[in-house]
């Protein structure tokens, strides 16, 4: 609130020969007396406060030459305390300094000193000097405003304790008399309340890795800050995950409370998620705070890649038992990212023994393994091992490959091992000489001496003339023949049987056995000669 106060004081200096301002009175000073001196009056009183003090800062100009018997003039000053007249309770002290007397027609100096007595700033301080007739103003510092007789000075603002002085030079054309004037001072006092004008701001930015593998966790760093000059209150940040991304709790967006952000303050949060598919993904965050503050972040892009491994198995052509066999496996990365720590594992095929492996393959009880290291996208490598087969049949070979973030895949192939068939047979009896008409026993035996199974194994024994079949546990008599069917025989298998005959005539009798199987083209013959006697 501003209160403008004005007060006018009359500074009337009435002693003889004394100059008090710009006006002219009817009393005359400086008249000649009988002694020829100048008659002076005591320093008068006027206005509020103390009067008659000498002005230390502004000495009065020297008086014009007087008669020889006249004493030297003295200075004159006045003081006023505004607005109460009491220094302790007033705001402004107004002092005026002037010579006690002046000579008509000569220039003289006088001044006003304005002082702020308070501990606060005073605004719009104005000094007014009302001059009467008979005075000519030569100059003032600072320059006055208005016209004689009403002169004013706009002294502006005064800090606590500050003083300002107005200096004037004037002259009077009056032959004698008392010059009087009236000076007043006014000001505006202010009751001020300072309120800061601020402008809070809001800014949000995100950053995330440029590339990640599909199996990796992708973490996005979010930074919200207040670049303004005031507090951004109740700031909240929301981050929406790209399509196909989910956090561990299944959410696809995350909002966090940043609270109150001081000017220049930053807060950050991290959101981690996984992608369900490969591709290029872009996302952004948004922030808001009280007062309608809003901000959107930059778009941050992340490429999600994945290595994709394939493996192909290559088996050798069929071979014979006991031969070495070379199995190959070709691994290729058909994905769009490097497969790190790529490992190939091939179990040892049944019916084989390990011989060697290339590409640094290592054999163990579990098979052969290769560490291919990093396999770049589009690259391929082939590994192989050599084994020796130990038996006929089908050899099944397989291998699998895996790498970091690459799904494990496997491949297999098979080949055949052919064995050499062979068969051994015997037809024998215990006694080489026997009596005609007595029962005589023959034993038969078949052994698979080859490397593969023998199928449809059959022995047919042909009896000579005059020999009669008596019986057999396994054999089947068909005319003069006895047939034994042994079916399938594995390598090393033995099958045996017997039959009983008797001869009706004496003589050397030859029993002939022939053994056949599917795997052998040539029958195997075995004979046994017996001498029958009367």
Structure tokens at 348: 């040892």
Contact 252, 222 (CB under 8 A): no
Q: What's the order of all strands across the beta sheet hosting 203-207? A: 203-207, 218-225, 266-275, 245-246
Residue 128: partners with Cβ closer than 8 Å, 6 or more residues away: 8, 150, 151, 152, 153, 183, 184, 185, 186
Rounded Cα distance between 149 and 147, Å, is 6
In a domain, 264, yes or no: yes
Structure confidence by residue, pLDDT tens digits, 495-534 = 999 999 999 999 999 999 999 999 999 999 999 999 999 8
List the CATH number of the domain containing 498.
2.60.40.10
Q: Give 182-204 as a 3 state SS string.
A: EEEEEEEEECCCCCCCCCCCCEE
- What integer pLDDT is reported at residue 192 of this predicted model? 62
Is the pLDDT at 345 greater than 70, yes or no? yes
Domain membership of residue 258 as a residue range? 203-305
Residue that has been written with the tokens 């000193």 in this structure: 113
Q: Report pTM.
A: 0.55
Is there a single domain that holds both residue 332 and residue 400? yes
Asked if omega into 83 is within 30° of 0 (cis), the reply is: yes
In a domain, 431, yes or no: yes
Count CB neighbours of 355 within 10 A: 13
Is there a single domain that holds both residue 265 and residue 279? yes
In a domain, 209, yes or no: yes
Nearest CA to 373 out of 383, 385, 364 is that of 383
In a domain, 195, yes or no: no
**Higher-confidence position of 323 and 197:** 323
**Higher-confidence position of 210 and 40:** 210
In a domain, 198, yes or no: no
Is there a single domain that holds both residue 295 and residue 247? yes
Mean pLDDT of the region 428-456: 94
In a domain, 196, yes or no: no
Structure confidence by residue, pLDDT tens digits, 227-276 = 999 999 999 999 999 999 999 999 999 999 999 999 999 999 999 999 99
Residue that has been written with the tokens 């305390």 in this structure: 81
Lowest mean pLDDT segment, chosen from 11-15, 194-198, 227-231, 328-332: 11-15
- What integer pLDDT is reported at residue 133 of this predicted model? 64
Mean pLDDT of the region 437-452: 94
Is there a single domain that holds both residue 52 and residue 167? yes
Give, for 418, the enclosing helix (H) or strand (E). strand 406-418
Is there a single domain that holds both residue 367 and residue 352? yes
Is the pLDDT at 412 greater than 60, yes or no? yes
Is there a single domain that holds both residue 175 and residue 231? no
Domain termination site, one of 277, 305, 333: 305
Is there a single domain that holds both residue 315 and residue 289? no
Strand partners, 332: 310, 380
Residue 19: band (very low, low, confident or very high) from pLDDT cuts 50, 70, 90: very low
Structure tokens at 103: 């000579």
**Higher-confidence position of 174 and 250:** 250
Q: What's the order of all strands across the beta sheet hosting 253-261? A: 253-261, 232-240, 285-289, 293-296
Contact 100, 73 (CB under 8 A): yes
Nearest CA to 524 out of 469, 453, 454, 430 is that of 454
Coil, helix or strand at residue 339:
strand
Residue 193: partners with Cβ closer than 8 Å, 6 or more residues away: none
Structure confidence by residue, pLDDT tens digits, 288-312 = 999 999 999 999 999 999 999 999 9
Rounded Cα distance between 215 and 212, Å, is 8
Structure tokens at 295: 């901000």
- What integer pLDDT is reported at residue 381 of this predicted model? 97
Instruction: List, in sequence order, every beta strand (DSSP E) within 85-217.
Output: 92-99, 108-116, 122-130, 135-141, 145-147, 150-158, 163-172, 181-190, 203-207, 211-213
In a domain, 197, yes or no: no
Mean pLDDT of the region 19-39: 33
Is there a single domain that holds both residue 328 and residue 450? no
Is the pLDDT at 23 greater than 80, yes or no? no
Residue 63: band (very low, low, confident or very high) from pLDDT cuts 50, 70, 90: very low
Is there a single domain that holds both residue 182 and residue 263? no
Nearest CA to 151 out of 172, 167, 174 is that of 167
Is the pLDDT at 66 greater than 80, yes or no? no
In a domain, 465, yes or no: yes
Is the pLDDT at 65 greater than 70, yes or no? no
Residue 482: partners with Cβ closer than 8 Å, 6 or more residues away: 460, 461, 463, 469, 472, 475, 476, 499
Mean pLDDT of the region 104-133: 88
- pLDDT over 70 for what percent of the chain? 84
- What integer pLDDT is reported at residue 418 of this predicted model? 87
Is the pLDDT at 219 greater than 90, yes or no? yes
Domain termination site, one of 401, 418, 435: 418
Residue 132: band (very low, low, confident or very high) from pLDDT cuts 50, 70, 90: low
Mean pLDDT of the region 30-52: 33
DSSP string covering 282-306? EE-EEEEEGGGEEEE---EEEEEE-
Is there a single domain that holds both residue 10 and residue 134? yes
- What integer pLDDT is reported at residue 131 of this predicted model? 73
Rounded Cα distance between 417 and 420, Å, is 10
Is there a single domain that holds both residue 320 and residue 379? yes
Longest dimension (CA), the chain: 222
Domain termination site, one of 190, 221, 250: 190
Rounded Cα distance between 321 and 413, Å, is 18
Is the pLDDT at 75 greater than 70, yes or no? no
Residue 194: band (very low, low, confident or very high) from pLDDT cuts 50, 70, 90: low
Rounded Cα distance between 172 and 432, Å, is 190
Burial code (b: 16+ CB inside 10 Å, e: under 16) for 221-253 equals: ebbbbbbbebbbeebebebebbeebeeeeeeee
Measured in whole angstroms, the distance separating CA 435 from the mean position of its chain's CA atoms is 110
Is there a single domain that holds both residue 403 and residue 453? no
The count of domains in the chain is 4
Kind of pairing, strands 520-533 and 433-435? parallel
Averaged confidence pLDDT in the chain:
85
């Amino acid at each position: 609130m501003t209160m403008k106060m004005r007060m006018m004081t009359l500074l009337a200096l009435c002693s003889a020969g004394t100059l008090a301002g710009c006006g002219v009175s009817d009393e005359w000073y400086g008249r000649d007396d009988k002694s020829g001196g100048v008659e002076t009056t005591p320093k008068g009183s006027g206005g509020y406060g103390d009067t008659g003090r000498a002005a230390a800062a502004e000495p009065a100009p020297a008086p014009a030459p007087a008669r020889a018997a006249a004493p030297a003039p003295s200075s004159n000053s006045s003081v006023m305390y505004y607005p109460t007249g009491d220094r302790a309770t007033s705001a402004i002290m107004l002092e005026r300094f002037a010579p006690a007397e002046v000579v008509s027609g000569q220039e003289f100096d006088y001044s006003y000193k304005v002082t702020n007595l308070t501990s606060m700033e005073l605004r719009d301080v104005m000094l007014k000097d009302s001059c009467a007739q008979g005075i000519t103003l030569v100059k003032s510092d600072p320059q006055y405003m208005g016209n004689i007789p009403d002169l004013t000075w706009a002294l502006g603002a005064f800090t606590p304790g500050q003083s300002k002085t107005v200096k004037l030079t004037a002259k009077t054309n009056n032959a004698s008399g008392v010059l009087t004037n009236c000076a007043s001072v006014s000001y505006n006092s202010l009751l001020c309340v300072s309120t800061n004008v601020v402008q809070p701001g809001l800014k949000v930015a995100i950053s995330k890795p440029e590339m990640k593998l599909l199996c990796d966790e992708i973490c996005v760093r979010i930074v919200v800050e207040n670049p303004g000059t005031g507090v951004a209150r109740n700031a909240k940040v929301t981050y929406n995950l790209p399509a196909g991304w989910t956090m561990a709790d299944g959410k696809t967006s995350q909002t966090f409370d940043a609270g109150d952000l001081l000017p220049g303050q930053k807060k950050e949060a991290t959101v981690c998620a996984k992608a369900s598919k490969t591709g290029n993904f872009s996302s952004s965050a948004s922030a808001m705070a009280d007062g309608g503050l809003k901000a959107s972040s930059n778009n941050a892009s992340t490429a999600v890649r994945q290595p994709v491994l394939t493996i192909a198995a290559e088996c050798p052509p069929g071979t014979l038992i006991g031969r070495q066999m070379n199995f190959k496996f070709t691994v290729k990365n058909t994905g769009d990212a490097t497969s790190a720590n790529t490992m190939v594992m091939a179990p040892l095929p049944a019916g084989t023994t390990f011989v060697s492996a290339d590409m640094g393959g290592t054999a163990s009880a579990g098979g052969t393994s290769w560490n291919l290291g990093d396999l770049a996208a589009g690259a391929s490598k082939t590994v192989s091992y050599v084994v020796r087969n130990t038996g006929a049949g089908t050899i099944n070979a397989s291998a699998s490959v895996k790498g970091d973030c690459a799904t494990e895949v496997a491949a297999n192939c098979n080949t055949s091992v052919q064995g050499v068939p062979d068969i051994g047979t015997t037809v024998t009896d215990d006694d080489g000489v026997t009596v005609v008409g007595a029962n005589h026993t023959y034993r038969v035996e078949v052994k698979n001496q080859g490397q593969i199974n023998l199928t449809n194994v059959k022995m047919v024994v042909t009896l000579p003339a005059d020999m009669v079949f008596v019986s057999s546990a396994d054999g089947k008599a068909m005319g003069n023949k006895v047939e034994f069917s042994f079916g399938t025989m594995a390598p090393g298998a033995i099958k045996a049987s017997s039959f009983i005959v008797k001869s009706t005539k004496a003589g050397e009798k030859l029993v002939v056995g022939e053994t056949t199987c599917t795997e052998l083209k040539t029958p195997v013959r075995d004979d046994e000669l017996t001498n029958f006697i009367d």
